[in-house]
Structure 1
């Protein structure tokens, strides 16, 4: 038997007729979060979450990268009927039942024009912040979408990568600068 890459023979819909799953915000969450909308206490209206550095190798972090994620994934119209339809099929196949929050996403599509009803407040990018301090907060702005705040957490925690790179780069620069100073 020949080893090496093989051609995929699974039929696939053309990209023009379906949303790309890597561009579908409805699928950018942890699997277990798709059913959270059913688990909040009755009459929940607003969920407020925060993001902080709990600590690590350095006592401070350089906050960086949130603007990219906001502009890339959250800005403008990000919920469409095609994305809802696609996500419903994938989530229900993956979870083995009708767990997809179609009504919630359709509310965002029809009542919010496909824009995510959340407010994010953050320290300015590039700010040096001691660990164990809030870096950004997020809250839903539509009481029907209380479930959305933590649904988006999976995507937004990816800001750790650019923050870690920025923080490490800053620390390396400090070491190099100290040797420049000490050696003239």
Structure 2
């Protein structure tokens, strides 16, 4: 079972909250366009560092990510999961037939590394094929994982600002600032399995978020 896990991680159809599988049946008749957005609603800081979306897109959403083999795999797994057939097989086959397995969605985002006030749109998602209106929010589960590198980068930014204040107070310069906040991201996740959820593993992704703000 463990040896098959990488295959599951490479099947975009299975990388979602399971309740999304039946959402295509719940849209009003005639729906053709679904437009969604992601924002940081609030928190301990008034600004956030937007970071990590490019990794998610290139890891899971770019290229021919849907195949007939993956559709068959998902159909079998989801029927076992739900105990009945709720899978949108026709919808996924349509993507293979009409888009060669590429996802017909458009994603727009602020530049990676931008510092943005909370309660602002950070990225948007919309379907580009009216027959795939259901796809916009199907991929939400993957996209919102951007919270993790964003949180690491945002926390690191604020920690670095605190360190900078005390460096100026005690040393009068910021020459050593990039080396004053060190990375222990691997030990910061809950398990080795979690750290290998993505390739590169989660601790590396967190460290990318950290090194966006420092060198140590």
> What is the TM-score of this pair, normalised by structure 1?
0.89
CA drift of 1:144 comes to: 0.4
How far 1:119 moved relative to its partner? 0.3
Give the structure 2 partner of residue 151 of structure 1.
138
Partner of 2:147: 160
Aligned to 2:157: 170
Deviation at 1:96, TM superposition (A): 1.3
Distance 1:110 1:175 in 2: 54
Number of residue-to-residue matches in the alignment: 170
Query: In the aligned structure 1, how far is the partner of 2:36 from the partner of 2:28?
Result: 16
> In the TM superposition, what are the counterparts of 1:36-55 in structure 2 within 5 Å?
36-55=23-42
Q: Does residue 1:116 correspond to 2:103, yes or no?
A: yes
Q: What SS is found at the alignment partner of 2:69?
A: helix
Separation (CA, whole Å) in 2 of partners of 1:152 and 1:107: 17
What is the CA-CA distance between 1:55 and the residue it aligns to? 0.7
SS across alignment from 2:38: strand
Q: Which runs of 5+ in 1 are unaligned?
A: 1-11
Cα deviation code 1:78-133 (max 9, x no counterpart): 00011000000111110111100000000000100100000000000000000110
2:21 to 29, 34, 44: 34
CA distance in 2: counterparts of 1:137 and 1:154, whole angstroms: 14
- Indicate whether 1:76 and 2:60 are aligned: no
Residue 22 of structure 1 and its aligned partner are, at CA, apart by: 1.3
Q: CA deviation at 1:180?
A: 1.3
Matched, 1:128 2:128: no
Which residue of 2 is the match for residue 103 of structure 1? 90
Question: Which position in structure 1 is the counterpart of 2:49?
Answer: 62
| Displacement after TM superposition at 1:57 (Å) | 1.2
Aligned residue in 1 for 2:9? 22
Q: Which has the higher contact order (CA 8 A, sep 6+)?
A: 1
Deviating beyond 6 angstroms after TM superposition, the runs of 4 or more aligned structure 1 residues are none
Matching of residue 93 in structure 1 with residue 83 in structure 2: no
Partner of residue 9, structure 1: none
Give the drift of 1:182: 1.9
TM-score, scaled relative to structure 2: 0.76
2:45 and 2:7 map into 1 onto residues whose CA distance is 38
